[in-house]
Amino acid sequence: MVLEDISYEEISNNLNNLTCDTKNGIIGISPKSEKKVLNLLTQLNKSYLLKKYFSIFKNELIIGNFDEEIKQNKHIETNILDFQYKWIINIQGIYFGQIDSSYFENNQKEFKINIMNNNYKNLNLNCEFNSLQRMLIVEYYLIDNINTNIFRNKCNLKSNEEEKFQGLYCDKNTLDKLPDLSIMINNKLLHIPINKLFEQDKNNPNEFLFLIAFSDIIWGKGSCLIGSYFFNELGIKTIFDSENNNIYLLSNNIIENTKIVDDYSVDDKQIILNNNSFSIYDFTLCFILISNFFGIIILLVSLYKEKVYGKVQNHIKKIKRMNKH
């Protein structure tokens, strides 16, 4: 393709001869642009009638129409949040735990997540896709929470001064025992095997770095950055739709039918009753009621015995007095 009417800048492949200002470049593919001439998607749409879609997958940037691919593959569709020039979505939470493959194969099979379980973390994070970063960058509290409640403090939190982040480093034995991770987006679960979220430390081959880390480069409280590792190494194809302000995440490891519940959910109890079965809550309630019932009976019997025994003793005393006279 000859870019006749497209604004672009030619840069030499010899990086050693370039200044620091030109070693890193940014392609204009944001949802909105201050100047349309600087947005590659807008220019390609204007000159070649290409839809304003693009995908970053396995180190390739592809611009064009992905409608058929989206229709034919399992995916999560979510609207981007209005942050002008950034591609930002909301992550509802993360779930740590093994999931049976039948949930991925049967779209109608409902997967329930109990919010009382420490393995589910409600997040409500606004996360920006940022290809200039590599890892998934989150706030410190989340890393500390994962290390304490999920990794059980078996991994070490260390600072990497060279790359300016703090990350969790685990040995191979610990890594093999950790549960898988799933991300909740738009009420659907995107499942990621835990071993894909670790890489061997180049300075210490006996340790493996968890690729969700903390750094103060995130742009605000309750936010995170999704780096290039997410769409290049995890097998998750990410499609950005500038026409409809959507992002599509394509993967076979998606649970479409999920429900967040708690131990005292009214809806759950009604379903259980309809199925003629009991929940732990029902058994506990029945046990308490039965215990109280028997307790009352034992108390009444004790009072009755005490009353009868008292009357018998009184009669015995009267008979003894009568015999003496």
More confident of the two residues 121 and 281: 121
User: Does residue 323 carry a pLDDT above 70?
Assistant: no
Asked, for residue 248, whether it belongs to a domain, the answer is yes
End-to-end CA distance of the chain: 132
3-state helix vs strand vs coil in the chain, percent to 5: 35, 30, 40
Asked, for residue 13, whether it belongs to a domain, the answer is yes
Same domain, 232 and 162: yes
Same domain, 215 and 255: yes
User: Does residue 44 carry a pLDDT above 70?
Assistant: yes
Same domain, 221 and 257: yes
Same domain, 15 and 97: no
Report the C-alpha gap between 103 and 225 in whole angstroms.
29
Confidence class of residue 118 from pLDDT cuts 50, 70 and 90? confident
Confidence class of residue 307 from pLDDT cuts 50, 70 and 90? low
Same domain, 115 and 254: yes
Name the one residue in this structure whose structure tokens are 């519940």: 261
pLDDT at 319: 59
Of 220, 233, 210, residue with least CA distance to 143: 210
Same domain, 146 and 3: no
Tokens at 193, concatenated: 């095997």
Same domain, 11 and 126: no
Last residue of a domain, one of 243, 262, 281: 262
Number of domains in the chain: 2
pLDDT at 205: 92
Confidence class of residue 282 from pLDDT cuts 50, 70 and 90? low
| Residues of the domain holding 17 | 1-50
Asked, for residue 77, whether it belongs to a domain, the answer is yes
Same domain, 122 and 191: yes
Report the C-alpha gap between 299 and 294 in whole angstroms.
8
Phi, psi of 125, rounded to the nearest 5 degrees: -95, 135
DSSP-derived pairing of the beta strands 120-129 and 223-226:
parallel
Give tens-digit pLDDT for 21-36.
Answer: 444 456 778 887 766 7
Report the C-alpha gap between 325 and 323 in whole angstroms.
5
Asked, for residue 273, whether it belongs to a domain, the answer is no
Last residue of a domain, one of 236, 262, 288: 262
Residue 51, CA distances (Å) to 1, 65, 76, 242 in order:
16, 6, 20, 9
User: Does residue 246 carry a pLDDT above 90?
Assistant: yes
Report the C-alpha gap between 262 and 280 in whole angstroms.
12
b/e 228-248 (16+ beta carbons within 10 angstroms → b): bbbbbebebbbbbbbeeebbb
Asked, for residue 289, whether it belongs to a domain, the answer is no
Asked, for residue 325, whether it belongs to a domain, the answer is no
Last residue of a domain, one of 262, 284, 311: 262
Asked, for residue 278, whether it belongs to a domain, the answer is no
For the domain that residue 95 is a member of, what is the CATH number?
2.40.70.10
Confidence class of residue 144 from pLDDT cuts 50, 70 and 90? very high
Same domain, 7 and 84: no
Rounded mean pLDDT of 313-322?
60
Of 194, 236, 223, 190, residue with least CA distance to 211: 194
Same domain, 177 and 30: no
Give ∠ CA 248-249-254 in degrees, rounded to 5. 130
Asked, for residue 282, whether it belongs to a domain, the answer is no
Residue 254, CA distances (Å) to 103, 165, 198, 239 in order:
8, 30, 21, 16
More confident of the two residues 292 and 218: 218
User: Does residue 17 carry a pLDDT above 70?
Assistant: no
Are 98 and 180 in contact, with CB atoms under 8 Å apart?
yes
Same domain, 123 and 194: yes
User: Does residue 97 carry a pLDDT above 90?
Assistant: yes
Same domain, 101 and 125: yes
Residue-by-residue DSSP string for 42-59: HHHHHHH---SEEEEETT
Phi, psi of 155, rounded to the nearest 5 degrees: -115, 155
